[in-house]
């Protein structure tokens, strides 16, 4: 059984805007799916259906076999962890440690396990030094780490991250996404919403391209970012390496080499093949 | 460490900007980039408090004696979190707000609102409630509201962070247009080296409240040690040129044209 199964999903907002217009896809356990698409294409709206924050106008969303339109939000919350685009929408406790302990405690886990989980996440995110501080006064980068750590402490099967890299410098992005990647390696799944194509090629195993509430392309990051016609139809600009691969394609360069090392190796092979 | 007492966000920053200059400011989290933005629009020190030394002068207005409300007619600001600055229930009202408080005639307000919304591709959404817009669309509305008064200086704190790649290119285009049409100066804080390389005439690298580099972006982006020090991810093309060099094919490029030319040469010349 797939972890996520979305069938003919439609969603309209109260102001009449049709945000999702027939979305179909399935995600298996262990996948790391990047969700890309122009602003307003429905990425966040789609993601909010995965934990039942939004209910379908029509169609069906199953997560771990539960129909999100009918399942209890609490039962879903154990399966799906959601990190909001704006970390301030989810941070509410008076100390960092309280915040990170909140979800496992709410699940009724014994205090010892709650404590261990909080310690583990605080160590993984470098938050031990600020454990006793109020999250509200931390820098945006640290607040983002607290938000992600507090969701990971609940150990959900599916982690949904909406633009987790925004406002972080390169070192912080690396810390946060490396931790997320470790988390997935325990057989869990990640859905990552981002506009940063370098993150897509670096971390994701699969990429969904959304445009005007529909999925336009679905494949490996290289296949989707190398598909210049799908990107053009979505009104997306291919990342620099994809454009470069495209420009060299008449000379034999593969168009799905959109990550530095993959591009470099494909190019060396091409040059060596000529001599 | 944040929160452990008074933090010296800026420690003796000195620079001048010319009219029409496009300046990028980069550096690790906590470097003082946002504080610098707030100082340019007089919110530091008037709204934030704290200890303030030195002078910030924008078009001969010293922020010590100019309140943020007066400064706002000359300095447009887009904050990092667009939700913090949107407050109306209709997109076009949001964009018209600053113009109305400047007392401009109704037709002029209409013209400028049309122009600003068109520039950020939000005309289609002008009657919608910002609350139902996506994060990136909210950011576009915030940018439209900041450019509508045609400020002499536009300050943007990570304006493209939640924008799709085309949206980010459009914002760069808007900034270039503002310079061309109004000779406005633009200061952009960003973590995106590709973006900074595309639009900026000049780059300031800020760390721990100090300026450590003030010069052309291209030069900084070819210096991996400098980029690592300032927690900047190198542009993909610069990374590729470093990777090829490491793997026995010395290369030195950072623009698309240079890369395309350098890489196609060995594939087209006869051996």
d(CA A168, CA A184) in angstroms, rounded, equals 21
Taking CB atoms and an 8 Å cut-off, how many pairs form between chains A and B?
155
Hey, what's the torsion of the CAs at A225, A226, A231, A237, to 10 degrees? 70
Q: B194 and A142: CB-CB below 8 Å?
A: no
Report pLDDT for B5: 63
So what's the pLDDT on residue A269? 95
Any CB–CB contact under 8 A between B132 and chain A? yes
Q: Which residue of A has its CA nearest to B269?
A: A274
Lowest mean pLDDT among A252-256, B158-162, B196-200, B222-226: B158-162
pLDDT in tens, A185-212: 877 999 999 999 999 999 999 999 999 9
Q: Does residue B3 register a pLDDT over 70?
A: no
Contact predicate A85/A166, CB 8 Å? yes
Chain B nearest C-alpha distance from A111 (Å): 28
Q: Is A155 on the interface with B (CB under 8 A)?
A: no
CB contact, 8 Å: B48 with chain A? no
pLDDT of residue A77: 83
pLDDT tens figures, A17-45:
899 999 999 999 999 999 999 988 999 99
Residues of B in Cβ contact (< 8 Å) with A251: 264, 267-268
- The answer to whether B86 and B128 are in contact (CB under 8 A) is no
A96-113: average pLDDT: 94
Which pair of tokens denotes residue B35?
Answer: 């504080």
User: What is the rounded distance in angstroms from the CA atom of residue B44 to the CA atom of residue B52?
Assistant: 8
Higher-confidence residue of B195 and A264: namely A264
Higher pLDDT residue, A170 or B222? A170
Asked whether the predicted pLDDT for residue B270 surpasses 70, the reply is no
Q: Does A39 touch chain B (CB under 8 A)?
A: yes
| Chain A residues whose beta carbon lies within 8 Å of the beta carbon of residue B125 | 40
Residue B4 pLDDT > 70:
no
pLDDT in tens, B13-52: 999 999 999 999 999 988 999 899 999 998 888 888 888 8
Q: Chain B closest CA to A167's CA: distance in Å?
A: 7
Residue B239: list chain A partners with CB under 8 A. 260
Given an 8 Å threshold on Cβ–Cβ distance, is A240 in contact with B194? yes
Q: How far is A110 from chain B (nearest CA, A)?
A: 31
Low-confidence winner among B12-16, B163-167, B235-239 (lowest mean pLDDT): B163-167
Predicted local distance difference test score (pLDDT) of residue B1? 44
**A241 and B CB contact within 8 Å:** yes
Q: Quote the percentage of chain A above a pLDDT of 90.
A: 76
Burial class (CB in 10 A: 0-12, 13-18, 19+), A210: buried
Distance from CA of A155 to the nearest CA of B (A): 27
Q: Which residue has the higher pLDDT, B108 or A75?
A: B108
List pLDDT tens digits, range B243-267. Answer: 999 999 999 887 888 999 999 999 9
Rounded to whole angstroms, the Cα distance separating B271 from B257 reads 23
Contact: B232, A170; criterion CB under 8 Å: yes
pLDDT band at A253 (very low <50, low <70, confident <90, very high): very high
| pLDDT of B179 | 84
Residue scoring higher pLDDT (B134 or A219): A219
Global confidence as pTM: 0.84
Gap between the terminal Cα atoms of chain A: 50
- Minimum CA–CA partner of A163 in chain B: B162
Average pLDDT (A75-99) is: 88
Residue A94 contacts B, CB cutoff 8 Å: no
If you average pLDDT over every residue of chain B, what do you get? Answer: 89
Judge whether A145 and A126 are in contact, CB under 8 Å.
yes
Please tell me what DSSP assigns to residue B79.
Answer: -
Count the Cβ atoms, other than its own, within 10 Å of residue B196.
25
Lowest mean pLDDT among A131-135, A257-261, B98-102: B98-102
B134 and A163 within 8 Å at the Cβ level: the answer is no
Residue B2 pLDDT exceeds 50: no
**H or E element in which residue B57 lies:** strand B57-58
pLDDT in tens, B181-218: 889 999 999 988 988 988 899 999 999 999 999 999 98
Residues from chain B that touch A161, judged by Cβ atoms under 8 A, are: none
A132, HSE (Cβ side, Cα atoms, 13 Å): 2
- Interchain pair A166, B237: CB under 8 A: no
Buried b (16+ CB within 10 A) or exposed e, A45-79: bbbbbbbbbbebeebebbbbebebeebeeeebbbb
């Amino acid at each position: 059984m797939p972890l996520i199964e979305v069938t003919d999903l439609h969603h309209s907002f109260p102001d009449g805007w049709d945000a999702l217009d027939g979305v179909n896809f399935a995600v298996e356990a262990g996948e790391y799916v990047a969700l890309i698409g122009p602003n307003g294409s429905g990425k966040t709206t789609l993601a909010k259906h995965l934990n039942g924050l939004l209910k379908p106008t029509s169609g069906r969303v199953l997560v771990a076999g539960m129909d999100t339109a009918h399942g209890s939000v609490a039962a879903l919350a154990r399966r799906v962890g959601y990190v909001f685009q704006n970390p301030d929408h989810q941070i509410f406790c008076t100390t960092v440690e309280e915040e990170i302990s909140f979800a496992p405690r709410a699940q009724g886990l014994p205090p010892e396990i709650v404590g261990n989980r909080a310690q583990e996440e605080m160590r993984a995110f470098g938050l031990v030094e600020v454990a006793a501080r109020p999250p509200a006064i931390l820098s945006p980068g640290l607040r983002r780490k607290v938000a992600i750590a507090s969701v990971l402490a609940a150990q959900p099967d599916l982690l949904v991250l909406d633009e987790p890299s925004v406002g972080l410098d390169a070192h912080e992005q690396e810390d946060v996404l490396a931790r997320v990647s470790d988390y997935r390696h325990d057989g869990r799944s990640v859905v990552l919403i981002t506009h940063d194509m370098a993150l897509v090629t670096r971390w994701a195993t699969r990429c969904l391209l959304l445009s005007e509430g529909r999925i336009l392309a679905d494949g490996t990051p290289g296949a989707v970012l190398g598909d210049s016609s799908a990107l053009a139809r979505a009104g997306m600009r291919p990342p620099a390496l994809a454009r470069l691969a495209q420009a060299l394609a008449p000379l034999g360069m593969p168009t799905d080499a959109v990550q530095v090392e993959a591009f470099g190796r494909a190019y060396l092979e091409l040059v060596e093949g000529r001599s | 460490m944040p929160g452990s007492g008074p933090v010296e966000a800026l420690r003796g920053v000195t620079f001048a900007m010319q009219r029409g200059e496009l300046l990028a400011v980069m550096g690790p989290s906590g470097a003082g980039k946002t504080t610098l933005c707030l100082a340019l629009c007089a919110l530091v020190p008037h709204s934030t408090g704290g200890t303030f030394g030195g002078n910030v002068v924008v078009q001969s207005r010293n922020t010590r004696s100019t309140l943020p409300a007066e400064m706002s007619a000359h300095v447009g600001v887009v904050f990092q979190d667009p939700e913090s600055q949107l407050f109306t229930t209709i997109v076009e009202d949001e964009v018209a707000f600053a113009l109305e408080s400047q007392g401009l005639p109704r037709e002029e307000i209409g013209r400028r609102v049309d122009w600003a919304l068109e520039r950020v591709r939000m005309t289609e959404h002008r009657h919608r409630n910002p609350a139902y817009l996506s994060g990136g669309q909210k950011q576009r509305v915030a940018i439209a509201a900041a450019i509508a008064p045609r400020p002499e200086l536009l300050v943007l704190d990570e304006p493209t962070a939640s924008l799709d790649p085309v949206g980010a290119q459009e914002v760069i285009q808007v900034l270039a247009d503002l310079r061309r049409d109004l000779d406005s100066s633009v200061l952009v804080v960003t973590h995106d080296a590709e973006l900074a390389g595309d639009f900026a005439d000049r780059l300031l690298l800020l760390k721990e409240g100090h300026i450590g580099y003030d010069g052309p972006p291209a030069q900084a982006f070819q210096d991996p040690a400098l980029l690592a020090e300032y927690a900047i991810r190198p542009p993909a093309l610069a990374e590729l040129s470093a990777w090829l060099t490491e793997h026995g094919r010395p290369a030195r490029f950072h623009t698309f044209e240079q890369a395309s030319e350098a890489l196609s040469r060995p594939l087209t010349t006869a051996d």
